[in-house]
Amino acid sequence: MGANSGKQSGSEDSDVSMRTLSTPSPALILPRSSPALFNGSSTSSSSFTAETVAMVHSPPPAGLTHPQRCLRQPRDQQGAPIDILPDHAFLQIFAHLPTNQLCRCARVCRRWYNLAWDPRLWRTVRLTGDVLHVDRALRVLTRRLCQDTPNVCLTLETVVVSSCRRLTDRGLYTVAQCCPELRRLEMAGCYNVSNEAIFEVVSRCPNLEHLDVSGCSKVTCISLTREASIKLSPLHGQQISIRFLDMTDCFALEDEGLHTIAAHCTQLTHLYLRRCVRLTDEGLRFLVIYCPSIRELSVSDCRFVSDFGLREIAKLEGHLRYLSIAHCGRITDVGVRYIAKYCVRLRYLNARGCEGLTDHGIEHLAKSCSKLKSLDIGKCPLVSDAGLELLALNCFNLKRLSVKACESITGRGLQVVAANCFDLQLLNVQDCDVPLEALRFVKRHCKRCVIEHTNPAFF
């Protein structure tokens, strides 16, 4: 009889295992030959020829031996000291685990399963890796998280799928349909995603505030779906709550697309358009009309942006604190003068590679933006010691300064900066003809300053 009962128990365990493998469950798709992680792995996909599915099982059956059973045994027979920890201690430990490790912990025992799927641990899902089947991973994870609240994940607020090159519109549709409380979505480098999937996400996730689509080369616009636009009343408008938007390396973005983005995302405060090479001054005009609260703006390497574009940006006035116009070759002192005159609260300016900038532009900037804390004027060959002296005599709070490869800069200008800007923390003088004595002078007066240089005699 004992043998029969033992055989029956074993059969039940086998059936449970088979049911687990045959029913839909949160599957994490990993290559067979590598312990690649969902969070932080960077294994080449070319070295793998097969794949396995690491299943997040249903709760282990009660008939199996697991750490919880040790709690019922005498203390001297306990198998693992970790089992005496209370639940809240486990939750604190699990809170520091990446998504894939948390799923693996759920397979240890029934107690760990219940703790690992505690909704408080699933405010963020972070998946990375070139070989990851991210569409399938998102589908099975959201299915498990929707178990207590059918069809919706009310706790999930952040999804990070950056560098998951296998992400497609199907994966984003899953997020849009199951995560109505989503606030942050990062998908940098996912170049297979199209406009339609982005429209679906921003239409179904009204609380979305942070969107990173940098490197998504197919994304040319951000707007509501047609169905969502029709449902909105005229009084409500067709606005999206996004405040942070990174479209770096979205090469296909044009003025018309930026016009649509600005018209819908009127609450934007941080916008990064680095290397959006098709943008012109006209697109910036639309931006300023609809998004007057922008605090940080980058149009670096947008080669068609000129002084006229800076004139439009200057209309942001006191709201603008951060501006990057690096390598915009059409910008001169005229455009910088507009910025200096109207954006008096500017704290950060990156004008590296603006070869039309001279000491006159630096003068206007120094006299009007006295609270400037960071300035990069590297590779501006027309800026000389005279410009640095005006900067030092007006911007006492300067903390970071780069004059890399400025051919007209000598030790005299740097000494004036060091004598007046005591809080200087970083100075870049690489590829500048600066004497050793000037570098030592800077080090004596700005003791906390890190000096980046190319003088082998200075250390």
Tell which residue, 217, 190, 213, has the closest CA to residue 202.
213
In a domain, 327, yes or no: yes
Q: Give mean pLDDT, residues 304-333.
A: 97
Q: Whole-angstrom Cα distance, residue 197 to residue 176?
A: 8
pTM of the model: 0.82
For residue 416, the enclosing domain spans 125-452
Write the DSSP symbol of residue 330: B
pLDDT-derived band at 59 (thresholds 50, 70, 90) equals low
Q: Strand, coil or helix: what is 211?
A: strand
In a domain, 401, yes or no: yes
Non-local (6+) Cβ contacts of 266 within 8 A are: 239, 290, 291
In a domain, 234, yes or no: yes
Q: Give mean pLDDT, residues 368-387.
A: 96
In a domain, 101, yes or no: no
Lowest mean pLDDT among 69-83, 299-313, 372-386: 69-83
Q: What is the pLDDT of residue 148?
A: 77
In a domain, 237, yes or no: yes
In the chain, what's the furthest Cα-to-Cα distance?
A: 99
In a domain, 108, yes or no: no
Query: pLDDT per residue over 252-303, tens digit each?
Result: 999 999 999 999 999 999 999 999 999 999 999 999 999 999 999 999 999 9
> Do 239 and 207 touch, CB atoms closer than 8 A?
no
In a domain, 292, yes or no: yes
In this predicted structure, the answer to whether residue 68 has a pLDDT above a threshold of 70 is no
pLDDT-derived band at 62 (thresholds 50, 70, 90) equals low
Non-local (6+) Cβ contacts of 456 within 8 A are: none
Q: Whole-angstrom Cα distance, residue 172 to residue 135?
A: 8
Write the DSSP symbol of residue 258: H
Q: Give mean pLDDT, residues 165-193.
A: 94
Query: pLDDT per residue over 181-198, tens digit each?
Result: 999 999 999 999 999 999
Tell which residue, 282, 338, 349, has the closest CA to residue 315.
338
Query: pLDDT per residue over 439-458, tens digit each?
Result: 999 999 999 999 999 988 88
In this predicted structure, the answer to whether residue 10 has a pLDDT above a threshold of 70 is no
Number of domains in the chain: 1
In this predicted structure, the answer to whether residue 402 has a pLDDT above a threshold of 70 is yes
Non-local (6+) Cβ contacts of 197 within 8 A are: 168, 169, 172, 173, 176
> The domain that contains 191 carries what CATH number?
3.80.10.10
Q: Strand, coil or helix: what is 125?
A: strand
- CA geometry: angle at 237 spanning 235 and 241, to 5°? 130
